[in-house]
Structure 1
């Protein structure tokens, strides 16, 4: 690509032979161009030959925003278009950037030739800050910070003093001093905090409210047409406000005023800021303010587990802090689970159950009543608590962290899906192994042990979003919420790779042909079919588990078919390797199902202590027992 630059504004040519048509040209496409050129953030996407005209190579470009080159974006065949030269596209990229903070805060770096240089705190003032924040679409300056507040940079330090008047649209338009300055080091790198380019208004906190976007120095609203949780998530991420809780429409937080800047917003997971999401175009809409979009983000998050389980962290100012286990109770847990859309609390876990971190521990005690909608509405104690360490970081598991199997012949086989914010998401086969299957089958679903993990959408292709993190179970977790997940998103999976799972099966048990329900021939229902159990390896430990499961006390005797007669139909598992203290036969290892080595002459029987046979006057004579 050959680019012609005029003070940070770019009219670009593809392979030196032509330009891009302005049809559907938006900030996602502009972001790719700026990234490819190493030119910082995309500031504006321009059409109608704002920078002049030339031959056209591309039309209807559709970038996701994550591509490294413009040529990698989707578009019709090269050179095919329905444009004329008055529709050439343009881009304005920033000549400044902020590093190591958020999008609108960080160390100030200025593009100098082909390199990014830091700026000395002695050479940067409020007027310079005004220009940088404006150029990045980040509102107005909040604070200028010296002494490498956002870390020490590397490489060159800008050697001239910026002398902005404060009214310039870009840093490159600012005058510079003519004398070189060599007495600055990276210990003096300047940092800047701007007021952001998106805000949430009238929601009671900076993490909830009506969505407003700053464009060309003016705040405006966003129309709720097609506004959904994906768009919500981008806003929450841009503001550093935790998880998206709800995407609201119909001016839920009241009608705004001024321009409606965005309509038909279509964000994907790759965008870091709302401005980079596809939309109808700046100021193009068929809306009115009673349709202003709203967002609720969480000010609490769960870390180190899965979405609905982990270490509790609360947003305090601009930082996430942990909570002491002695200052967190069931009422606090109710609010956290509710705020995250994760159902109700299952377990509060102390002693850093989800790992220790560094940084601040929340110094006040939460005193939630349990009915608050968000954690920041809870009262706090007035006295500070300083005697807690990260060894006491509290963890929480909520009920919303669930799995199910879909599309199989019964409830214990099918496509693996995870519940995420009231939506069931399939799991990629590359991110699911035998240890994950052990936990899903044995503990999450009560479906025995895993028989087979199946890839390539064996139980059909799902639709919509996929679960984007890798499960990292050890296989011995008592609940799925105790499994770790990968911290990195995995976007390279499709529904052709939806993972499926076959578990050994959910069983019911009964005792047949005895004097009552606590004595008789052992029969198990597996895959909706009743069958008997072979007595070759059926022992008192397995019988004790069965009696307890049936609420029949403990086992008194294990008997053969000569006591309770021969059954009919299938003969199910022939080895239950129980310890005797399990609560259900499914918790015992099973050799396999549907064994044919036995006949019904070997059907096992049991007498439990709750049976009338066990308490018969004078007792009963038991032959064949253990």
Structure 2
């Protein structure tokens, strides 16, 4: 490091491996100031540091000599006043050190410190400041006037065109131009000494770069209308959180006088001074920050910019439609209402004078004159802690309208406001005795409930059983009949089993003898059937080779010596139930000599049979 008046030639250099950060040099003569706004010689203080415009914290401009140096450097005279502008957490000039402040007109002898910290930037107004605004209209329409050195002057229409009008609408943050033109002169109007023309002007920062030192020859007022009229709203009409163009407003740079500008723009009379318990802002979200000047009579005319908010949100309460009431009829705790909405209880520093009490009772209508506080009232006692109340009633001397006696602040060190008039009727508060639990009644109730439940259960059970008996058809055996019949069957079955057991196992010869008897009985039955039904002869057919597997199912043909053929059933079909080891028996067919008529169903004669002389079918003979 070298002395201040040294040079780098006296320094020694050490070569490094490139692991350190590069060094930056900011020369003192490179610091350049500016006042950022649409006004001339007035606005937010910024310094060009490392080729970037950085805001200057209020702590760096505490010294009035430093403020004067800024104004002289810009050719704006001396500093008139400084105000807080906005609070942010960005890279900013946190400190400035200048030598010989009164002997220089620039920042060459100043050193600046840059760091990232939360600080409040500064707005500076110099003595030569000039501000252009709109009057007798809305925030973005009206006659153009200039405010300078505490005076107001009208601007002449001379030299104005669409080009200048577009520039002014942009400076006023009012969007695009709608129209610009002359208007009749107002009696007693004083005109600004210069005219404006932006033709040929390059890199103009604001409309003041187009100002020409040419006095106006035409005495016509300049009227302008822009498209971007800001939309100002309160959440609950006459009170609540404030939004401008749909964006909530941060209260870090908010002044209580701004609330009056809100109510005036909305035509809601005046504002109730003070701050309410507003909602906190959300971190990292952008909100509107508002900064108003003396000549701004409406909130839409104030400077606005978007930044994150480190405080709370703005709420405004206007006096229009403010009314007062009491907790009881014609007396008790004083309360305030906004339109039809309850606004809370009211407190005061000291009791109202008799004059104000009379006015208050008159506003209550039909309550007569004020009276002293009743000795015995059955109303609830006033709370001891009223720190959460935020409406204070305090009327200055000569103020006759109670609406302008209100302010928004904490009631922590005040007393509840109350009044009593002739028609006072206290609200009777009936205190209810605490409920006592009767254990005996509960036990008796539970016992009765259980008894009732048992009776209902028995009744339902009997009803279901009776209904089930009615559903059986006549003659249907009941349960005891079924049990009785089942017992007799079991008795007979048991006797049969006893007989079988006593006889032992039968021998094989006995089984065979019994089977033979059954077989002979079957043959006798066949003979009887044969006598009753005549046999019908069938022609012999050639055996189909495909039917060899079903030979046992066909009728067996028997041919006698005289050439007659008879058919009989296969005897094997009648012995499916006989054991395989029994010897087969032969079946003899009986031939009857007497002719029998064929059944009616056999009227069609087969083609290979002919009717013989004796009436029987015989095989056909070759002719």
TM range (shorter): under 0.3
Structure whose residues are more often helix by fraction = 2
Query: TM-score, structure 1 length as denominator?
Result: 0.28
